Each structure stands twice: as C-alpha cells, then as structure tokens.
Amino acid sequence: MNRRSFLKKGVASGAWAFGTQPLFSLDGKELSFSDIPLVDTHLHLWDLNVMDYPWLKGKGLPLERSYTLHDYQKATERHPVSKMVFVECARRPEQYLQEVDWVQEQADSESGIAGMVAYFPLEMGVDGQEAMEEMAEREIVRGIRKNFMPGHAGYAQGIGLMRRFQWVCELNVGPGQLAAVIDLVSTFPEQLFVLDHLANPDIGNQDWKTWAGALAPFASMEQVYCKLSGMITRASQDWEVANLEPYFSTVLDIFGPDRVIYGGDWPVVLRTGTLNEWMTAFFSLSKALSTTEKKKLYHTNAERLYRI
C-alpha cells in the first residue's frame, strides 16, 4: 500500500468525536488531543490601535478587528500548543521594526511565542545590509517573509545576505510562481526556504493536478520545507476533511516527513472555519502516520528549522 492509500485509509477510519479517542501511542501510552505538544509556525496577531494594516480595510468581520494573545489562547485552549512562530502581518512596510518590537513585547509576557518571521525590504539588496544588521539585533527574528519578486536583482541580493543570520526565507506564492521559485532556490543551495500554505493550491475547485505537478520538483530540494497551513481558507465554505486529503498526502509524498511543518494561520483561518476545526482536521489527516512521523510534523521539524 503506498503512502497516499495508507493516509486515505487512516482519514476514512479517523472520524471521531473531538477528544474522545486516542490519536496515537507513544512509549506505551495512548495519547489524546490534550497530550500532544504542537508548534504553531503560523500565528498572526494585530492591534489596530498600534499599527496600520491597509489590507484589512474594508474586509469586515471576522478579520477587521484586533486579535490579541488572549483571543488565540482561548481558541487553542483545548490543544496544548507548546510554542508559536509569529509571521508578519502586512502592516505598513515602514512599520516593520515596530512590528518586531511589538512581537517581542508579546513574547516577553511568557506567551509561548518563540520566534518570528518578520518583514524586511529585501529588494534593497546589498544597500540594505546595515538595516538587516539592525533587525538582527532583535533576537526573536528567525526568518523573513517578503512578497516574491522573481527576476529582481536587489531581491536576490537581499536573500543572499540572510544566510549570515541563519534566517529562513518564507515564500507566500501560488502554483503559477513555483517554476520561478525553483530558479531562486537553485541559486542559494545553502539557504533554507519555506513554502507557506502549501503554495496556495485551489482546493475549493479541487485543482490538484496542476498544483501537484508544479510542486513535484521540490522533492529533491532538501533546503525547501512545506508548511501545512491555510488549507481550509483555500477550500470551499462547506469543506470536509476528505477534500483536504489529496493535498496533505501529496505534500508528504513530495517533501517527506522531515520537511513538513504545521501552521494554524490564526486568525485568517476564521474565513472558512474555526481554528479548532482546522486543528482537528490536521490531527485526522495525520492519524495514520507513525509516532515518529507525527512528532516530526507536530514539533521537531519546526524546532529545528526555526531554532526554537
């Protein structure tokens, strides 16, 4: 039985009432939702009274309001999230250092925030080295996310500077951009990259074939990781776990269990469901994996990647 068939069988047999059945056995102990440590590698928080977020204007609820640590902790109270990685929230570009300092304040409250993927204007190229060094003084920074700019010389130069700080380069791209991502990754074989949100496949329309074909070349690119996040926001409003399974199993086929990490995408996930619903779906999708593979997806891969 191949991995995809094995996972599909596990999903089909994994319909259980929340928290009523064990997910796997570890060291002879049956574990349930409340026992599983999980690193959430994609946390957003924003305070509309502190910074400006132009992309939120006109969005309405549920997104056009402030989201605090208290909101996130309440949303995850039934799940033991052990650590979180904050991902930049597209505040005004000139406020990027203010965002880093604000996140550091949240982390100092013993919130569990262990690292941050910040924004930085990579297109400044070598002229941005001094500004990058200033950012590096903020020890919470573990990576950079900047809109993908294929063919931009300064952008590539900026990525070339990141290795000095051991920062991860996160890319929020779509399937049509993956060919250009391959060219970029090939240029920097020592740089670690993360594809956010599985490279944003059109799950709602079940456009699996196009996305899977574009993703396949990354199987041999060991410095590229894939983040299991944003899945239900790319699905239809009436999504079911079965709609997500082909995408989950394809990621495992291509990247293997050593280069896949979990992300909650809070609070953007609220567009199509609750964080609890997404976390429950994730546990269901991964139910058929071995204990060792689960531990990698849940926390050890993320801890190694982000050095947290």
List pLDDT tens digits, range 29-38: 666 655 678 9
CA distance 36 to 30: 11
Residue 275 clears pLDDT 90, i.e. is over it: yes
pLDDT band at 111 (very low <50, low <70, confident <90, very high): confident
Residue 31 burial by Cβ neighbours in a 10 Å radius (0-12, 13-18, 19+): middle
pLDDT at 4: 45
Ramachandran sector of residue 230 (left: φ over 0; alpha: ψ -120 to 50; beta: rest): left
Q: What is the pLDDT of residues 241-253, one digit of tens each?
A: 999 999 999 999 9
Query: Which one is predicted more confidently, 227 or 291?
Result: 227
Residue 20 clears pLDDT 70, i.e. is over it: no
pLDDT at 18: 34
Q: Are 198 and 244 in contact (CB under 8 A)?
A: no
Residue 22 clears pLDDT 80, i.e. is over it: no
Lowest-pLDDT range of 1-5, 59-63, 200-204, 274-278:
1-5
CA distance 40 to 38: 6
Residue 11 clears pLDDT 80, i.e. is over it: no
Q: What is the DSSP letter of 208?
A: H
Q: What is the pLDDT of residues 150-176, one digit of tens each?
A: 999 999 999 999 999 999 999 999 999
pLDDT at 107: 95
The pLDDT of 211-231, averaged and rounded, is 98
pLDDT at 16: 26
pLDDT at 109: 86
pLDDT at 78: 81
Neighbours of 219 (CB within 10 A): 13
Tell me the domains of the chain and their CATH numbers.
Answer: 3-14+32-306 (3.20.20.140)
pLDDT at 110: 75
pLDDT at 80: 75
pLDDT at 39: 97
pLDDT at 37: 87
pLDDT at 35: 66
| DSSP helix/strand/coil, 236 | coil
Lowest-pLDDT range of 2-16, 130-144, 164-178:
2-16
Structure token pair of residue 117: 């993927």
CA distance 195 to 80: 25
Residue 12 clears pLDDT 60, i.e. is over it: no
pLDDT at 56: 97
pLDDT at 33: 55
| DSSP helix/strand/coil, 120 | coil
User: Which of 146, 116, 80 lies closest to 298 in space, CA to CA?
Assistant: 80
Q: What is the pLDDT of residues 182-201, one digit of tens each?
A: 999 999 999 999 999 999 99
Q: Are 278 and 75 in contact (CB under 8 A)?
A: no
CA distance 235 to 173: 17
Residue 13 clears pLDDT 90, i.e. is over it: no
Average pLDDT of the chain?
A: 90
| DSSP helix/strand/coil, 64 | coil
Please give the biggest Cα pair distance in the chain: 56
Neighbours of 308 (CB within 10 A): 18
CA distance 202 to 199: 10
The number of angstroms, rounded, from the C-alpha of 207 to the middle of its chain's C-alpha atoms is: 21
Residue 14 clears pLDDT 60, i.e. is over it: no
